[in-house]
Each structure stands twice: as structure tokens, then as C-alpha cells.
Structure 1
Amino acid sequence: MKSTLYALPVFSARAFPIWRRNFLVWKKLAGASVLGNIADPLITLLAFGYGLGSLLTHVDGIPYIQYLASASICMSIMMAASFEALYSAFSRMHVQKTWEALLNAPLALDDVVVAEMLWAATKALISGVAILCVIFALGIGLHWHTLLVLPLLFLIGMMFASLGLVMNALAKGYDFFTYYFTLVLTPMVFLSGVYYPVAQLPGWLQGIAGVLPLGAAVNLVRPLLLGHWPPTPWLDIAILLAYCVVAFYAATVLTRKRLLN
């Protein structure tokens, strides 16, 4: 039994119908959902990009509105994937008993966890594409480098969805997620170079920022949206993949432990 608990996740095509089920439910309220996901980054761009940007015109030689917009999309992907993997997944698992109903079908728990991770990443990508349209309207990212951003956004979504599912497996109620947003995600935003260069931080904080997943995401996406190649692409991709793989394995084990024991 213990060996089964800690076995590697099993991937199968049976996860796709679960993903499709979540998509069809979301589709009924797609407009409001996308609008809600882009409202916060849009307000951030307008308030900080133009408000603070009128005082701080350039950062590292980049107009501040471009500097902020090219990183805020990573923050939005983080929030969208996390919200779906936390509140929505918890509702399906614990409140609505959707997972319980699914497990009465010829499905394994691993199929459900994989589907939840992929759906959260997909929903985050949809939000990211909507935000890209806003960025394009500002005249940012209108070049072919931006095509490379799309698969990166999906990877970032998978990674934060996996981290969120770890918290989901540990949570006893919705209030638990407040700690994750307040103590993990929010500090990460301010340490990852979204609003200002990481070089402005004290040395010891720069060391922490260097291994944060959002920092790796910003290091990849910002240069591409600004028409440049990232300085350390393979290192940053490796950081994202490492977080994604480890977090997804932990989420699978913890979910098995919670629901099957």
C-alpha cells in the first residue's frame, strides 16, 4: 500500500474527458471569467504603468509601461492558475463532490489530478492570451518573438497549478488558501522583478529571488515580449520544470493520501 502511495503519477488519455468536463462548465461563464482575470492586471498596468510611469519613465533603459506589462502577464498566469487549482479544485473535490462522482467511473485518482493541473494551466493560458491582446493594444510585443511566449505561459501555468494542488491536498477549508496567497504568492511578486529590477534588492534577497519560479518566468517572458532573447533561457526553463515536476509529484502523493487512505 505504501509503495502505491508513493508511486510515480500515471498519465493516461482518461484525463482528457475530465479536462473537457471542466472546460464545458467554464464555457457557460467564459466571458465573465476572462474579464475577471484580466481586470486586475489591466488596473495594475493603468495605475502603475501610467501613474508611476509618469514619474519613473524608464527602468534599465526600457519605458516603464513596457517593463511592467512584459512581466505582469506572468503574475496574471500565476494568479489564474493558482486560483483554479485552489478554490475551484477544492470545490470540486470537497464541496461539490465532483471528484467522488468521477471516481465511481472507470477513472483513477491520478487521472483526476492530471486533468485538474492541465485544466488550470489551460484556463491560465486563456487569460494570458486575453492579456496579450491588451498588451498588443499598447503597442508592446508586436514581433515574432512573442510566439515563443505562448508555450512558456502554459508551462508557467502548469507549474503554478501543480503548486496550488499541493495546497489543495493539504487544505481543510477555503481559509487555508489565504495563507498561501498572503505568505507565498504576494511576496513572490515583489521579489521576482515584476515592478522593479531584482538588482535593487539586498544581496541576500537577490539570492532568494534567483530560485523563485516567478522570477524564472519573468526572466524568460519579459525579454521575448520586448523583442530580445532571454539571457539564461535553459537555466530558467530548468527551474520551472523542476518546480513543476516536484510539485506535481507531491500533489499526487498528498491527494492519494487524503482521499484513498
Structure 2
Amino acid sequence: MSNPVVPVPPARIPRGGSMLPDLTFRAIYVWYRDFTVWTTFYKASLIGNLGEPLLYLLAMGWGLGKMVGSVNGVPYISFLAPGLVCSAAMYAATFECTFGAFTRMTRQLTYDAILATPVSLDEIVLGEILWGATKSFFSGTAMLVVMALFGLVRSPWAILALPLAFIIGLLFAALSMIVTAKSPSYDFFSYYFTLGIAPMFLFSGIFFPLGNLPGWAQTFAWFLPLTHGVTVSRALFMGTVSWEMLGDIAWLAVFFCLAFMLAIRGIRKRLVM
């Protein structure tokens, strides 16, 4: 005799239709679920997240670095390293909260299963974002260790690049959840990576000083979230810490809050409204 089919209840949204997030401690259960699954294949995941930044470090840092020499009195490979920590954090959160979140939402129906519990839809979104940021932290940690082994860490302040990687992860995880909410298929993500992530990777100051760009391009770069992360990371690596960094951190925080609210709204619209 077959087991009866138990219908999944509709996703819970805030009572009264409030646009405020419906959040409790239960979001941590979503994070823990993702973490538990990740521990079964963490080695492949870390290698994948580290591979591209390390290739850029070796090819651009040593190859192009021989031609460039130094930037603002700093060896090119040392100039490059802080930005690659940020790019590793960006890519880790982005892949997790696009392809990973989309798979859990549409293919594995993980969200449906979670919604059969007291966990709300908003808590799922927060849990996913926290997990994306955690993967950014892991990637940032691995990159920092490798760069320390290469002798590219010039200041003890560089250890603060780890919480910075988590902050960058929060922001890009939230942005990725917005895209995931709109995505009809995996192919849709190619637009986001080509039109959103690639410009940030190239024009956020990782590979060259932004002062080399024309004025309009510098203005464009200032509005890119990764630019502010790279600015802070480079200051930490070089030991040139100043109060101006707080402005960049505040920019990242404000942008995250906006992206988080839009992510919740987008997922609600897709699964509930």
C-alpha cells in the first residue's frame, strides 16, 4: 500500500501582508542544512573556488608582473593579491546563490520540503545568503593562506580580510538571490555573469589603479560593489589603514540591505504571490 501524499503548505509570508522580513533564529537551520551537504564534497568545492583566482595570480602576477614591474611602488603581484581575495569571495557567493539556490528551489524542491516546517520563506532566503557568505569566508581564508605562503601578506591587518570576505559574500549572495528569483532556467545566469559579474571583476581595481581610467569610467567603477571591497582589502594588505575605509564598509552595508530586501521580495513574488 502506497504512502499517502501530504500536500506542502503554502509558503508563509508575514501576517497582514507586511513587507518587513519575517525572520527568526530558524534561518540558521537552513544554513546548517546547506553546510551539512557541503561537507560531503568540500574538497572539490574549495579547489573549484580557488582555481581561477590562483591562475590569475600566477599568470598575471608573475607573467604580466615581469613586464609591469610595480604599481605605486608595490610589486605588481602584491598589488594584485588583495583584489583576488575579494574576487574569490564574490564568485563563491555568486555561484552558490545562483546555480546552487536555483537547483534547490526548482530541481531538488528543497524549499518545498523546508516550507513544510515552521521555517518561513524569508528565513530560507536569509539562510541561503548566510551560507553564500560562509562559502565566501572559506574561499577568502584559503586564498589568504596561499598568499601568506607566497609571501604576499605585508601587514598583520590582512587578517581582517576574512570578515571583509564574509561581508562581500553577504552582498553578492543577496544580489544573486535577486537574479535567481527572476531566472527561468540555468541559461539565464549567463546574462548575469557576463553583464554583471565580469565588469565588476575587470573594472573594480583588481588589475590596475582606477586612476588610469577616464573620469566617466572611474565614476562607473565607484558604483560597482566590488570596488569598495577591493579598496578596503588592498589597504589591509598594505597596512595603509585609514578612517576612509569606514565609508567603503558603510557603502557595502547599505547596498546589502537594499539587495536583501529586493531578494526577499523577488523570492516571495516567485513562490507565493
**1:85 equivalent in structure 2:** 97
Q: Give a deviation string over 1:12-55, Cα, whole Å, max 9, x none.
A: 11011111110010000001110111011111000000000010
- Aligned residue identity for 1:120: G
- Aligned residue identity for 1:171: S
Aligned equivalent of 2:171, options 153, 159, 172: 159
Unmatched 5+ residue regions in structure 1?
none
Unmatched 5+ residue regions in structure 2?
1-12
- Aligned residue identity for 2:134: T
- Give the TM-score of the pair, scaled to structure 2: 0.92
**1:36 equivalent in structure 2:** 48
Change in 2 beyond 3 A, CA 1:215/1:23? same
Aligned equivalent of 2:74, options 62, 81, 84: 62
Pairing 1:220–2:236 present: no
**1:249 equivalent in structure 2:** 261
- Equivalent residues of 1:71, 1:222 under 8 A apart: yes
Pairing 1:111–2:111 present: no
- For residues 68 and 159 of structure 2, what CA distance do their matches in structure 1 show? 29
Q: Please state how far the C-alpha of 1:239 moved relative to its aligned partner.
A: 1.2
SS at match of 2:68: coil
- For residues 29 and 90 of structure 2, what CA distance do their matches in structure 1 show? 25
- Aligned residue identity for 1:24: T
- Aligned residue identity for 2:240: H
**1:202 equivalent in structure 2:** 214
SS at match of 1:53: helix
Pairing 1:124–2:139 present: no
Q: Give a deviation string over 1:58-88, Cα, whole Å, max 9, x none.
A: 0111100000111111111111100001000
Q: Please state how far the C-alpha of 1:147 moved relative to its aligned partner.
A: 2.5
- Aligned residue identity for 1:161: A
- Equivalent residues of 2:23, 2:120 under 8 A apart: no
Range that drifts further, 11-20 or 92-101: 11-20
Q: Please state how far the C-alpha of 1:151 moved relative to its aligned partner.
A: 1.4
- For residues 113 and 5 of structure 1, what CA distance do their matches in structure 2 show? 17
- Equivalent residues of 1:219, 1:230 under 8 A apart: no
SS at match of 2:21: coil
- For residues 101 and 90 of structure 1, what CA distance do their matches in structure 2 show? 15
- Aligned residue identity for 1:67: F
SS at match of 2:111: helix
SS at match of 1:55: helix
- Aligned residue identity for 1:138: F
The 4+ residue runs of structure 1 with deviation greater than 4 A are 1-6
**2:150 equivalent in structure 1:** 138
Residue pairs, 1:93-104, within 5 angstroms: 93-104=105-116
**1:13 equivalent in structure 2:** 25
**1:27 equivalent in structure 2:** 39
- For residues 128 and 241 of structure 1, what CA distance do their matches in structure 2 show? 19
- Equivalent residues of 1:5, 1:257 under 8 A apart: no
Range that drifts further, 131-140 or 244-253: 131-140
Q: Give a deviation string over 1:171-221, Cα, whole Å, max 9, x none.
A: 001111100000011011221101001111111010111121100000101
**1:236 equivalent in structure 2:** 248
Paired positions, count:
261
Q: Give a deviation string over 1:134-156, Cα, whole Å, max 9, x none.
A: 11011122532022222111111
Q: Among the aligned pairs, what percent are the same residue?
A: 41
Larger Rg: 2
- For residues 122 and 181 of structure 1, what CA distance do their matches in structure 2 show? 21
Change in 2 beyond 3 A, CA 1:162/1:6? farther
Q: Please state how far the C-alpha of 1:231 moved relative to its aligned partner.
A: 6.4
